[in-house]
Chain A
Amino acid sequence: MNFKIALITAMALTNATAFAAEECEVPPSLTVSDIDLTRVAKAIKEQHRLDIAVVGTGSSALPPGPDGDNFAYPARLQAALLQLLPGNDIKVVAHVQARQTTAEMAADLKQILATEKPALVIWQAGTFDAVSGIDPEEFRTSLSEGVDTINSGGADVDLMNMQYSPRTETMLDMGTYADIMRWVAQEHGTLLFDRLAIMRFWNDQGTFDLYAATKKYDMARKVHDCIGRALASQIVNSARLTP
């Protein structure tokens, strides 16, 4: 039984890899920036290791299913980084809990920084705040303070915004929160992973039909794999590491 699951997993992973490499490219304008991930660069160059903490909500995980965690983008990021930076000890730990506001996540940051000492924190935020209509000003303050906490805790920051979700676009005002994330990133000189724009690009290109209704996990897994890859290349680029 276990063997069977492992086999299916392995097959799925191979498929996903083959798919991603060819088809979900992202234009450089969306992943290349002139912001330096100095702590990531230092960790790789001096210790040949990289600890990354992903802090996020529901859209950083794939809902319960066999081996869901292996298919979500944090795990895919780790796989992609190991491929890009062979010979380094790379670990991505996901602190993902559904239905958390940014203020709640910000409160946990200190603890995570103290116990794990990551060189990079990928902070995925905004979706649940938009869903529950958190006051945008409150959202901005929490985000801004959280970024300060991470920086003073000795880690680089990569803010990740929302998924592009065409079905809910008229019901959910993502724009306000996405703008705030852009401002906070700019204000603090930190990296932003523009998941919203990247997924919209894939949708426009026909890479994924994000409007499709399905109960299956295939597409969700592919999207997460592609996000993991795009993240990895953004991190490698911004740390000025040549793969």
Chain B
Amino acid sequence: MIRGLGLAALLRWPAASANSDAVRIAGPTDAGASTTAAQRPPTAGERDLRLDLFRGIALWLIFLDHIPENVANWFTIRNYGFSDATEIFIFISGYTAAFVYGKAMRERGFVVSSARILRRAWQIYVAHIFLFTIFLAEIAYVAATFENPLYAEEMNVLNFLKEPDVTIFQALLLKFKPANMDVLPLYIVLLLLFPPTLRLLLWQPGFALALSAFVYILAWSFHLNLPAYPNGVWFFNPFAWQLLFVFGAWCALGGAQALGGLLRSRIVLTVAIAYLVFAFLITLTWYYEPLAHYVPLWLSDRLYPIDKTNLDVLRFAHFLALAAVTVRFVPRDWPPLKWRILQPAIQCGQHSLEIFCLGVFLAFAGQFVISEWSGGPLIQTAISLLGISIMIAIASLLTWYKRMEGRSSPPRAKTSDADLAGGEA
């Protein structure tokens, strides 16, 4: 836990320490620029492009993972450790939400900032329902065209089409969520609860984080989760996943600075790397069966099951280790962040809601194409690349729109900048 906290601290690298690193890593020009940045108060600091970069990459990975049969999946991080792109996405979303709305809450008060948070939750809700409509269209098509006695049992999944009144209503209540459409509902719930959480985080950050951890423990001890339709519970348990979101928010509001020392410690780095290697070796045994025999029974008893629904501690720790190592080697003023080659990922991260929804849709469409024309590895790779290219194109279009709007209404430019810096979660 402590080790992880350390790495998160680096995500919001304290200005002073960033400075010395910048001198060492970057050329003279860059070092000069970072000195200027260091003189600003940390909370008013400019956008941390690392957040956009990694959120953009996470969005690509989520897109790839959502196409079930896809050779390109081999590149996504879930095959190399316990955690996956979801953790990155939720953590950064918490971080940016606190960054933007925290500032708003300090400057304009509880009511105005809460109203903005709730408006954001509403936008995400509308986006979710839009995706659901596309999903319904796909399901209806499959139901109308597909028949095979071999799959009589699996076809039961289409049963909800028989009572659309109930199903659509349950979808509006966020209780009915088709596969791969679980992230946005989680995000909506997290945002709905965010105004009081943020208030508490600004007032007593340590207490707020402790409370969040307590809720996480309660969720595990008493199996707390929200009910789903027609059965079961939410795939991403909000009572468990809130920990990552609140932790991200805590880091944004000064927690990261507090952990700066830990993050620079060699021991923390060593432990983090050791854990990542361990997780990698364990993951190898999932894909290469004979290796599984080398995992002793006492260990596998302890490891499994690695519970994604309830954000298993192993997953959380894996994310923390990953973040610790990342912030260590990618400082805030890392020169490549300015390189053109990274701009596509950064722009995707800056429009994350739109790009996330687009990714879910493209995954549906991609899967459809792969299945319809027996997709070999070549087609799968082509579709993966095409999908990411479309995401990049749309992200740069959105950036262009934003710039145009900024120019046409200069007095409001400041507010929309703040939105861009993280409201686009």
Binding site for B on A (CB under 8 A): 29, 34, 57-59, 62-63, 65, 98-99, 127-128, 131-138, 140, 163, 165-173, 176, 179-180, 183, 186-187, 209-217, 219-220, 223
Residues of A contacting B189 in the complex (Cβ-Cβ under 8 angstroms)? none
A-B contact pairs, 18 of them (CB 8 A): A65-B149, A98-B152, A127-B154, A131-B156, A133-B229, A133-B230, A133-B231, A138-B232, A167-B146, A168-B154, A171-B139, A172-B154, A211-B371, A211-B372, A215-B149, A219-B150, A220-B149, A220-B150
Chain B residue contacts of A186, Cβ below 8 A: 292, 300, 304
Determine the distance from Cα of A137 to Cα of B425 in the docked complex, in whole angstroms.
Answer: 31
Is A183's CB under 8 angstroms from B152's CB? Answer: no
Q: How large is the interface on B (under 10, 10 to 19, 20 to 34, 35 or more residues)?
A: 35 or more
Contact of A136 among B139, B148, B149, B309 (CB under 8 A): B309
Q: Are B367 and A170 in contact (CB under 8 A)?
A: yes
0/1 string, B370-394, CB within 8 A of A gives 1: 0110100000000000000000000
Enumerate chain B interface residues (CB-CB to A < 8 A). Answer: 66, 68-69, 138-139, 142, 145-158, 178-180, 223, 228-233, 235, 289-290, 292-293, 300-301, 304-305, 307-309, 363-364, 367, 371-372, 374
B-chain residues with CB within 8 Å of residue A210 when the two chains form the complex: 150
Instruction: Give the docked Cα–Cα distance between A176 and B231 (Å).
Output: 15
Given contacts A59-B153, A168-B151, 15 further A-B contacts (CB under 8 A): A128-B153, A134-B231, A135-B231, A137-B309, A138-B232, A167-B146, A169-B68, A169-B367, A170-B180, A172-B154, A183-B304, A186-B292, A211-B374, A213-B147, A220-B150
Quick one: given A170-B68, A170-B138, are A209 and B228 in contact (CB under 8 Å)?
no
Contact of B152 among A63, A132, A133 (CB under 8 A): A63
A-side contacts of B304, CB under 8 Å = 183, 186-187
- Are the CB atoms of B374 and A165 closer together than 8 Å? no
Q: A168-B155, A170-B179, A172-B157 are in contact. Are A63 and B149 (CB under 8 A)?
A: yes
Question: Are B146 and A213 neighbours in the complex by a CB distance under 8 Å?
Answer: yes
Contacts of B232 in A (CB 8 A): 132-136, 138
